[in-house]
A and B are shown apart, each in its own frame.
Chain A
């Protein structure tokens, strides 16, 4: 989607287990939800 919106050079960082130990952990585990950093450059 980023490329479709005029961005290039997209980079994605490693997953972070942001819901570990939180109340939302069960839902996060069900859909393998992790946090990531994203980087993209405007064309």
Chain B
């Protein structure tokens, strides 16, 4: 299957891209301090403006594999009691930040496709005793979440790694209730990327 951009130009094979993304983030789960093309962990959280007291309250295992590109909470704090879906939740860093904002009357479902990240996130949730946070295996294009369940959807540095972004946003709309909020962080480029470069799949993942 070859996916298309919004203009209909074929760029990359979605399945090949997905496997390369899994490989990349498997490394980040197992070797968070290894050589990656992006920052990780507490230093990254500080660079992106997460409140220090929030990050300091999380154990190393819950922070070290964080590899976001921005702060999805910078434009809006999640209301207490909200149901939240975290797309590409990794080892759970943003899910745990969200859990702190929504409190125990709220609920957070993290979704990820990389087994090593899911294992780590579930261990972290158990260690933290966060019973209102759950991690499910799934894809951004096929979220394992009931239609209209979410008050908010968050994501951080994930949608840019999906070949069919329109499919992702359509799926996000499905799981959000009417009036629900999508708040995410991602990269944007100021200079156009040549089509030849868009077809180089390694450029998508680093």
The interface residues of chain B lying within 8 Å CB-to-CB of A39 are: 75-76, 181-183
Q: How many residues of B contact A (CB 8 A)?
A: 45
Task: Give B20 Cβ to nearest chain A Cβ, in Å.
Answer: 15
Q: Mark A3-42, 1 if CB is under 8 A from B, else 0.
A: 0111100010100101111111001001111111111111
Q: Which chain B residues have a beta carbon within 8 Å of chain A's beta carbons? A: 6, 35-39, 44, 47-49, 68-72, 74-76, 157, 165-166, 169-170, 172-173, 176-193, 203, 206
The interface residues of chain B lying within 8 Å CB-to-CB of A30 are: 191
The interface residues of chain B lying within 8 Å CB-to-CB of A34 are: 187-188, 190
Task: Give A9 Cβ to nearest chain B Cβ, in Å.
Answer: 9
Q: How many residues of A contact B (CB 8 A)?
A: 31
Task: Give A43 Cβ to nearest chain B Cβ, in Å.
Answer: 7
Given the known A-B contacts A34-B188, A34-B190, A36-B188, are A41 and B37 also in contact in the complex, defined by CB atoms under 8 Å? no
Task: Give A22 Cβ to nearest chain B Cβ, in Å.
Answer: 5
The interface residues of chain B lying within 8 Å CB-to-CB of A1 are: 6, 165-166, 169
Q: Are A36 and B186 in contact (CB under 8 A)?
A: yes
The interface residues of chain A lying within 8 Å CB-to-CB of B179 are: 41-42
Task: Give A34 Cβ to nearest chain B Cβ, in Å.
Answer: 7
7 contacts between A and B (CB under 8 A): A4-B6, A7-B182, A18-B187, A19-B38, A35-B48, A35-B186, A35-B187
Q: Are A5 and B173 in contact (CB under 8 A)?
A: yes
